[in-house]
Amino acid sequence: MSSLTESSLTEVGYAKLNLALHVRGRRTDGYHDIETIFAFCEDGDQLSGEDAKGLSLEVSGPFAADIPANDANLVIEAARVVRLATEVSTGAGLRLVKNLPVASGIGGGSADAAALLRLLTTLWEIPASQAGELAPLLGADVPACLLSRSCRGEGAGDRVKPIDLGLSGTPVLLINPGLPLSTRQVFEQWDGVDRGPLEDWRVGRNDLQGPATALVPAIADMLAWLEARQGAEFVRMSGSGATCFALFGDEAARDQAASQVPRPWWHLATRLR
């Protein structure tokens, strides 16, 4: 595997959390109308890139084997969309370090696509406004991931508005059972009941938690385990699952919980941006 030079640009595909997610209805375009509060962690996947004649992608990291490194990868697909839309003739040599589990409800693919958009605005000198226009074409979560800061999402989640939650620096522990979960399947299992609008995320819901748990029962075990951790102040499943998370009052309590995570669960001890 080749290495990138010191002139390479680097962006982080920050792990995404849904502090609450209310499903309001099905749409005719195959999506669902939702209301959600996004928050982002300080850690995630790492994407590097430099000028090249063509488009190429190398993938490494603990979850590299779970995603394609060829033309089917969302990062390469996103680069092609950007190049076509902007009529850029140059290419990019890209390298992705895949640190986040795949199909886990924390925006891995969308975060990577957003990291690519941020990287290419510099590498290819693309206006940031144009990157923002392209984001919804790459996925419903990509506009929020492009911001990578707390925001409210509506529509399919692609209409985003930045908000200040006052949570920056909050210690958080993410855990995942090591089982991928299809977003499409989870939404298909939603019962179609509109349980009301999202106002306060702390007393809100994740309407996908029930359908996701029916598909991956380990979600219930993880939520119960997090609830039992000393210092855990807020526990919920993120997105369509199966990753669950807990916000902690201090890093010592978070680190103590992280040291107790059962095997083979994956975990990440980090903080909110």
In the residue annotation, 161 being an active-site residue is answered as no
Q: What residues does each domain of the chain span? A: 9-162, 171-271
Tell me the H-state helices in 124-163: 128-138, 142-147
CATH code of the domain made up of 171-271 = 3.30.70.890
| Tokens found for residue 26 | 């099905």
H helices then E strands: how many in the chain? Answer: 8, 10
Task: Encode pLDDT of 205-243 as tens digits.
Answer: 999 999 999 999 999 999 999 999 999 999 999 999 999
- Residue pointed to by tokens 């409800």: 105
The catalytic position among 43, 112, 141, 158 is 141
Q: What local confidence, expressed as pLDDT, does residue 92 receive?
A: 96
pTM: 0.95
Q: Is the pLDDT of residue 65 over 80?
A: yes
Q: Give the CA distances from residue 205 to residues 1, 34, 161, 229, 237, in Å, rounded to whole numbers and listed in that order.
A: 44, 12, 20, 20, 9
Average pLDDT over residues 141-157: 98
Mean pLDDT over each residue of the chain, to the nearest integer: 95
CATH code of the domain made up of 9-162 = 3.30.230.10
- Residue pointed to by tokens 């890139």: 49
Q: What local confidence, expressed as pLDDT, does residue 138 receive?
A: 94
Please give the full DSSP string across 179-227, using - where no structure is assigned: ----HHHHHHH-----------GGG--BTTHHHHHHH-THHHHHHHHHH
Q: In angstroms, rounded to a whole number, what is the distance separating the alpha carbons of residues 213 and 172?
A: 22
Q: What local confidence, expressed as pLDDT, does residue 69 receive?
A: 77
**Helix 74-86 and helix 108-123, axial crossing angle in degrees, nearest 10:** 40
Task: Encode pLDDT of 35-50 as tens digits.
Answer: 999 999 999 999 999 9
95 SS3 class: strand
Task: Encode pLDDT of 166-210 as tens digits.
Answer: 999 999 999 999 999 999 999 999 999 999 999 999 999 999 999
Do domains 9-162 and 171-271 share one topology? The answer is: no
Q: What local confidence, expressed as pLDDT, does residue 3 receive?
A: 53
In the residue annotation, 53 being an active-site residue is answered as no
Q: What local confidence, expressed as pLDDT, does residue 6 receive?
A: 57
